Homo-oligomer: A and B are copies of this chain.
Amino acid sequence: MKKILIIGLGLIGGSIALGIKRAHPHYEIWGYDRPEVQTIALEQTIIDHAAPNLCSAEQADIILIALPLEATLETLRELAELELKEQVLITDTGSTKQSIIQLAQELFESKKIIFVGGHPMAGSHKSGVRAADVHLFENAYYVLTEENVALRDLLKGLGAKFIIVNPKEHDQVTGQVSHFPHVLASSLVLQAEEYAVTHPLVRQLGAGGFRDMTRIAEADSTMWTGILLSNPDVIIERIETFKEQLDALSVKIKAQDEKGLKHFFDEGKSIRQNMEIHRGAIPNFYDLFVAIPDEKGVVLRILALLQDFSITNIKINEENREDTHGQLQISFKTETDLERAYQIIQLATDFEVRA
């Protein structure tokens, strides 16, 4: 039996609590958050006890912080003031790792308190404790900044794939595949809007490609502000190399370098096809696109095939655009469902489907 304290009972904290319970039904899970949130968490049996204040941390064997970055740093400072158990293990779930590890080292190393940085790379567009889902992290990567058997054991019920990544490497990699893409998406939206002032058709002629490229601009601005603030060097450096890349392309365009431009696009295409693109840290959608004719009953037919899957949204993109064709955009909860649905539609219909 262990006493686990989870600080922050949102989607992540709540889901982790459920995952811990799944493997360790006899562990005692304490949860700390605003009272109204604690109430819901108790009702939904996500936690066993509501911690009245942070002092409950003094009884915890393992403390898991599932808060936004800034709040995580504050909580670490507060925990450092307490009389924690001698063998306590503390971990977090922050989207970046360097700033957290740095502070944790300052605060805890001399006290011989073990802190392991964590980053479960999964999410959903839902939020809050009511969205807590025991399946959320299944097959997702869960980064740990160092190996820790106790932590792996605690979290084994999540069904996640643990990988050990040092903080700097973690922030560099997520900087490239997650943070910088968000910078691009929002920047593109702002650029288009500015251009729309003198070219209003920009607002009407945006097509499927523009839609894809800007979807993640709708992410939570507070969370993303926090991420940019905590991973500045990597993101600035990615911006610089990207600008160099754009410059190199400009040179090819100016020179009417047909061969060079074809190579640019060919490379991009084949690299992308070979990349495994999994679910990751950032809340995302597992979307399937099915090209459908404008006939009655088609949508019903497809949905009938997919009855057992966790569909969260069905968008009927009627407008034909440059790179879409009467499209059904089906969003799934998990990557597994997406992949199975993909296969089913391919087998059972003539419709073209892509993810």
Give me the 5 closest cross-chain CB pairs, A-B, nearest first.
A208-B284, A207-B280, A186-B268, A221-B265, A140-B320
Q: Is the CB of B190 within 8 A of A206?
A: no
Chain A interface size, as a band, is 35 or more
Q: Which residues of B contact A206 (CB under 8 A)?
A: 177, 275-280
Instruction: Write the nearest CB–CB distance from A304 to chain B, whole angstroms.
Output: 6
Number of copies: 2
Q: 10 A–B contact pairs at CB < 8 A? A: A124-B324, A126-B325, A173-B205, A190-B264, A203-B275, A205-B280, A205-B281, A206-B275, A281-B318, A299-B303
Q: Is the CB of B312 within 8 A of A265?
A: no
Query: Contact flags (1/0) for A280-322 with B, using CB distance below 8 Å?
Result: 1111111000010110110110011001100111111011111
Known: A224-B265, A266-B221. A213 touches B191 (CB 8 A): no
Q: Which residues of B contact A326 (CB under 8 A)?
A: 135, 138
What DSSP secondary structure best describes chain A's contact surface? helix
Closest to A209 in B: B216
Q: Which residues of B contact A124 (CB under 8 A)?
A: 291, 323-325, 352
Contact of A111 with B by CB under 8 A: no
Q: Is the CB of A125 within 8 A of B276?
A: no
Contact of A92 with B by CB under 8 A: no
